[in-house]
Structures are given as C-alpha cells and as structure tokens.
C-alpha cells in the first residue's frame, strides 16, 4: 500500500488564491462534511443502489439523459454491468428485452452498432453493445451472438483504420485511443483479430505517452510520403488523462503476446506508474483519484486509474506466483485490523473509503463527488473501482501453460478481403492470444475490503 504524500499545500506559486484553488478548497470542505456524516462502519448501500438501478432500467431515465440519445448501448451497458458487480443476475425475460434493445442498434448494411436505432455505427457504441451481449446474450435464435455478421464487422473496423495504426471512432470522426481499446475487446470476443487489423497499433499507443508518463488521446504522425510513416517525431497531442490511460494500458496488455520485441520496448512503464500514483488524492481528497494533474478528484477514476495500476503490477511482474493464490483467506473487514500487503501499488484502503464514505448518493446510485447527483456512468465506474480496490487480479503463468496445452485448432476467422497470414500462423496467434487473456485470475489470498463483509463486490 502506498502512503499519502505529505506535501505543503499552497494556493499557488505566489501564494495568491485562484479560481482553481478556491474550487479545490470548496471540494475539500464538501468532502470533509460528507465524510463526517457517513455512517460507521462504512456501508455499501447495496439494496438502495439496486433499487435505483432497477428504476433506471424499467421506469426510464430522467430527462437530462436526452443528451445521451446517441449512447443508448452505453446506458444499458452501465446499468447491466452495475447489477453484475453487485452480484445480481437479470431474469430471462429482462435479458431478452436487453438483447432485443441492443440488436436494434446494429447496422446490418455497414456492420457495427450505432448509438441508437438507425444511427450511424461507431466503434464505441459497438463495444458497449457487444459488452451487453456478454452479460445477457446467448447462442441460437434471438440470443444476439449469432445475429452478428463478423465479416461486415471486420470490414467496418478496417474502414476506420488509419495508416499510423490508430482508428477513428466512426466515419469522418476523430482519432481517439479509446477506440483502440473498444475495438480490441470487440474483435477479441468475436475472434476477428488479424495482423492487418492491429498493424502499427502498439506503436501508435506508445506514441500517445506524454512527458508526464500518462497517455493522451492521440499523437501527431509525420510522413515522408503519403504512405511512409516516420517513427519519430510522433508527439502526443493533449495532456495525460485517466480515461485515455486506462484504455491505452488495457490495449497494450491485450496486444502484448502479438507484439514484436521492438514494439514491446516502446512503452515507459515506470514513468507511467509514477504518473498514476500521483493521480491519487492526498488526505484532504480522502484518497480519491483525479483524471489529470491539478484537477479535482472524481469517483469514475477509481476505475480508470485503479485498473491501470492493477495492469501495471502485472506488467512489472514484481510478485512471483506462489501457488497459494487459490487459498481463500476471509477478511472480516475490521478497519483497525487492516492487513497491508506488497501487492497494491496505491492506497487501496483509502480509495475504498472514498467510494463508500463520500461517493454514495443517499437516494441511490454513486456520484462523482459530494455536491453532484448520482448517474449511471459514475455508478458503474465507481463500483468497478471498488472491485479493483478489493480484489487483486493477476496473470497466472501456471494457468497460461495449462491453457496452451489444452488448445485445439479450429478454422478461425478469415477476412473476405483475404490475409497474408498462413494457416499455421493464424492458429499460433489465436492460441497465444486466447491463453494470454484467459489466464487472469483473482488472488484469493490477498483480497481486502473496508467495513463489513457485505461491502464486498464481485471481482
């Protein structure tokens, strides 16, 4: 566990107040007031949140969500995933309604999913739609999965690929590293990853790492000719951001078994770690994460920064596998008996206290911070961050070796446009990717949670 940084707090280099320092002081006061009024011991108001989510799903969302009309698969994704993190499964009728709803967003002509029925497809709503099907879909008629045309999906993805290995989020739109994460997850679930699809993508991700160590949304490519990309300069555009960071490192981990040796050395992981741990707030921020330097803490970064730190731990491979990770050690949740470990690269106890102590809204749902109302976006990412802070997930080399030994060759996906990949190379690539992604496990011996055992959520 990383201790707090004890630094002198100043209003600015000249000691004068600014609008930024005033807002920080106001936020600290609101956090302190919310913390004092939180019940002890800290409690996850599970039933209150479930009832709030149930109303959002069945009775409809407030009028303010009209602005999210082009994000309908996302709204369903946030709600369904929140139920799952709290250990609640939907009934078959509700699952079918969710399948039917999300499938109306599929573009059967172009491939991919739009933000709503008859809307133009994009990578981001496609990821949300496929993620919903992971939770509620099934094989067979009406189950969603068999209604997806993988060839059209692949062609849609390739139509958005850029020469520098990046992707635009939809036709005539902008390049964004979040699109890479969304695409890789979707392509992996549908088994349509090809060398052509991911060519240059790892190098592009590395090019978005900023001088701070975090990741921006994109970088500036330079070309000798229209088709010849220079390795450098490729400066990152914009400041490092928690959301971009989470998507960048997640994409990097997915691509790792498919990278060349040269590509795998392009990311500065220690520099990224330094930036991440500095994103966690100090005592006055009650351990919440901020998404950018010198910004306010925000509950959603409990996930974006928390999951990044979990992946960084795996990339650094600082904890050897002991063989005792499957031995369940029950944590009674008593705060004054908190057992510290070397696994956590940040103050996971303090993050749980932020989420439980100041991040819950009384009517139900979770919020950005005190003074804000709960919404389904912050509810999901706060719960996901809570799960990350409670459970250590690691990549098991033992499991990976076992999976490699049990692999059975199948035909696999071949694009209609063809591929230069041989059948043997295709099987080797699919085998390596499958074993790499399926070998992540929870370390049952190291989970820790604040408050009573009822605060524990699903890993």
Q: How far apart are CA 434 and CA 437, in angstroms?
A: 5
Under a CB-based contact definition with an 8 Å cutoff, are residues 123 and 154 in contact?
Answer: no
Assess whether 295 carries a catalytic annotation.
yes
Question: Per DSSP, what are the bridge partners of residue 95?
Answer: none
Q: How far apart are CA 30 and CA 4, in angstroms?
A: 20
Q: Return the structure tokens found at 246.
A: 């989470």
Assess whether 49 carries a catalytic annotation.
no
Of the listed 150, 266, 295, 372, which one is catalytic? 295
Q: Return the structure tokens found at 82.
A: 């929140």
Question: Per DSSP, what are the bridge partners of residue 113?
Answer: 106, 122
Q: How far apart are CA 413 and CA 438, in angstroms?
A: 19
Q: Return the structure tokens found at 272.
A: 């990224």
Of the listed 105, 300, 381, 436, which one is catalytic? 300
Under a CB-based contact definition with an 8 Å cutoff, are residues 358 and 38 in contact?
Answer: yes
- 389 SS3 class: helix
Assess whether 301 carries a catalytic annotation.
yes
For 45, phi then psi, to 5°, come to: -80, 70
Assess whether 300 carries a catalytic annotation.
yes
Taking CA atoms, 267 is separated from 209, 214, 295, 345, in Å, by 8, 11, 25, 19
Under a CB-based contact definition with an 8 Å cutoff, are residues 421 and 429 in contact?
Answer: yes
For 204, phi then psi, to 5°, come to: -65, -45
In the DSSP assignment, the letter for residue 43 is -
Taking CA atoms, 409 is separated from 111, 188, 424, 429, 432, in Å, by 27, 17, 10, 11, 12
Q: Is the dihedral of CA 31, 34, 37, 39 positive or negative?
A: negative
Assess whether 340 carries a catalytic annotation.
no
Of the listed 127, 154, 244, 301, which one is catalytic? 301
Assess whether 378 carries a catalytic annotation.
yes
Assess whether 100 carries a catalytic annotation.
no
Tell me which residue has tokens 């993190």: 85
Q: Return the structure tokens found at 320.
A: 């050897």
Of the listed 45, 49, 178, 241, which one is catalytic? 241
Of the listed 292, 392, 429, 448, which one is catalytic? 292
Of the listed 164, 176, 298, 443, which one is catalytic? 298
Q: Return the structure tokens found at 135.
A: 């939770």
Assess whether 298 carries a catalytic annotation.
yes
Of the listed 107, 285, 361, 368, which one is catalytic? 368
Q: How many helices and strands in the chain, by DSSP H and E?
A: 17, 6
Cα-to-chain-centroid distance, residue 341: 24
Assess whether 391 carries a catalytic annotation.
no
Of the listed 256, 369, 378, 429, which one is catalytic? 378
Of the listed 176, 285, 361, 375, which one is catalytic? 375
Q: How many CB atoms lie within 10 A of CB 356?
A: 23
**Active site (catalytic) residues:** 241, 292, 295, 298, 300-301, 368, 375, 378
């Amino acid at each position: 566990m990383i201790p707090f940084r004890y630094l002198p707090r100043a209003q600015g280099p000249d000691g004068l107040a600014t609008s930024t320092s005033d807002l920080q002081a106001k936020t600290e006061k609101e956090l302190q007031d919310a913390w004092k009024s939180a019940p002890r011991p800290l409690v996850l108001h599970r039933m209150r949140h479930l009832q709030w989510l149930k109303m959002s799903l069945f009775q409809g969302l407030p009028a303010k969500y009209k602005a999210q009309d082009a994000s309908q698969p996302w709204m369903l994704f946030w709600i369904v995933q929140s139920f799952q993190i709290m250990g609640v499964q939907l009934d078959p009728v509700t699952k079918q309604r969710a399948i039917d709803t999300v499938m109306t967003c599929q573009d059967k002509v172009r491939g991919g999913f739009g933000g709503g029925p008859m809307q133009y497809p994009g990578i981001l709503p496609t990821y949300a739609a496929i993620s919903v099907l992971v939770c509620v879909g099934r094989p067979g008629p009406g189950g969603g999965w068999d209604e997806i045309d993988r060839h059209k999906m692949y062609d849609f993805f390739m139509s958005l690929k850029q020469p520098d290995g990046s992707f635009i989020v939809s036709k005539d739109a902008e390049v964004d590293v979040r699109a890479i994460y969304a695409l890789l997850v979707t392509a992996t679930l549908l088994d349509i990853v090809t060398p052509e699809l991911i060519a240059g993508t790892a190098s592009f991700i590395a090019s978005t790492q900023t001088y701070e160590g975090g990741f921006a949304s994109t970088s500036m490519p330079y070309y000798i000719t229209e088709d010849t990309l220079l390795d450098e300069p490729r400066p990152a555009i914009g400041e490092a951001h928690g959301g971009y960071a989470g998507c960048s490192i997640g994409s990097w981990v997915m691509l790792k078994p498919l990278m060349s040796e040269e590509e795998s050395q392009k990311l500065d992981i220690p520099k990224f770690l330094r930036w991440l741990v500095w994103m966690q707030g100090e005592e006055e921020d009650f351990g919440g994460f901020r998404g950018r330097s010198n910004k306010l803490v925000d509950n959603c970064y409990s996930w974006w920064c928390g999951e990044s730190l979990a992946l960084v731990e795996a990339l650094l491979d600082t904890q050897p596998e002991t063989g005792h990770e499957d031995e369940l050690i029950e944590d009674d949740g008593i705060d004054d008996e908190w057992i510290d470990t070397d696994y956590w690269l940040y103050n996971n106890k303090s993050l749980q206290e932020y989420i439980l102590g100041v991040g819950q809204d009384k009517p139900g749902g979770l919020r950005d911070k005190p003074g804000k109302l709960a919404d389904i976006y912050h509810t999901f990412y706060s719960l996901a961050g809570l799960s990350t802070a409670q459970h250590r997930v690691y990549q098991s080399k033992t499991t990976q070796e076992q999976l490699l030994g049990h692999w059975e060759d199948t035909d696999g996906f071949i694009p209609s446009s063809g591929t230069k990949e041989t059948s043997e190379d295709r099987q080797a690539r699919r085998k390596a990717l499958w074993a790499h992604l399926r070998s992540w496990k929870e370390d049952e011996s190291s989970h820790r949670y604040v408050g009573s055992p009822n605060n524990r959520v699903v890993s």
